[in-house]
């Protein structure tokens, strides 16, 4: 078990500790509302869709489709910002990895991969589905 509990991002938002713990193990969790049965992103303590606080964590399949994207060519190296509509419902902002710009199209199937970033957090990044 990592000591994620002591990291600043968990101490600031302890209600999301479960997300970070699962992420560190490679699992992508979403909050789902028991009242309206919809999932949302990012995780909150109150459902942004109906106001209920009766929420639980569910594992996302990580599957989705590209809702919109932008190739950031001014950066070196360039990268791809992407909005993904998850099969679970929510739209999530992330990066699309290992894709050439001419491969990318709206509606293309993508898959999340949990990857660590420099500050120690593990977050979902996306790749075009096989």
Shortest Å, Cβ 39 to Zn ion: 9
Separation in Å, CA 72 to CA 67, 76, 83, 122 = 17, 9, 14, 22
Phi, psi at residue 12, to the nearest 5°? -70, -35
Identify which of residues 24 and 36 has a Cβ nearer to Zn ion in the complex. Answer: 36
Shortest Å, Cβ 118 to Zn ion: 34
Separation CA 10–CA 17 (nearest Å): 6
Shortest Å, Cβ 84 to Zn ion: 21
Quote the tokens at residue 15. Answer: 């209600």
Binding mask 75-114 for Zn ion (x = CB under 5 A): ----------------------------------------
- Residues that bind Zn ion (rule: CB under 5 A) add up to a total of 7
Span 19-58, contacts to Zn ion by CB under 5 A: 33, 35-36, 47, 49-50, 52
Phi, psi at residue 5, to the nearest 5°? -60, -25
Shortest Å, Cβ 67 to Zn ion: 21
Identify which of residues 38 and 113 has a Cβ nearer to Zn ion in the complex. Answer: 38
Separation CA 124–CA 95 (nearest Å): 9
Quick one: which of 19, 123, 113, 104 has its CA closest to 65? Answer: 104
Site residues (CB under 5 A) for Zn ion?
A: 33, 35-36, 47, 49-50, 52
């Amino acid at each position: 078990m990592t000591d994620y509990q002591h990291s600043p991002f968990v101490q600031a938002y302890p209600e999301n500790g479960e997300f970070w713990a699962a992420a560190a193990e490679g699992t992508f969790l979403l909050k789902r509302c028991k009242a309206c049965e919809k999932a949302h992103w990012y995780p909150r303590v109150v459902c942004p869709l109906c106001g209920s606080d009766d929420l639980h964590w569910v594992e996302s399949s990580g599957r989705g489709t590209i809702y919109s994207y932008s190739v950031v060519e001014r950066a070196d190296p360039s990268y791809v910002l992407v909005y993904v509509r998850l099969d679970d419902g929510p739209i999530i902002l992330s990066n699309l990895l290992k894709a050439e710009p001419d491969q990318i199209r709206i509606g293309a199937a993508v898959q999340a991969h949990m990857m660590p970033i420099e500050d120690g957090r593990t977050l979902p990044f996306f790749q075009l589905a096989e």
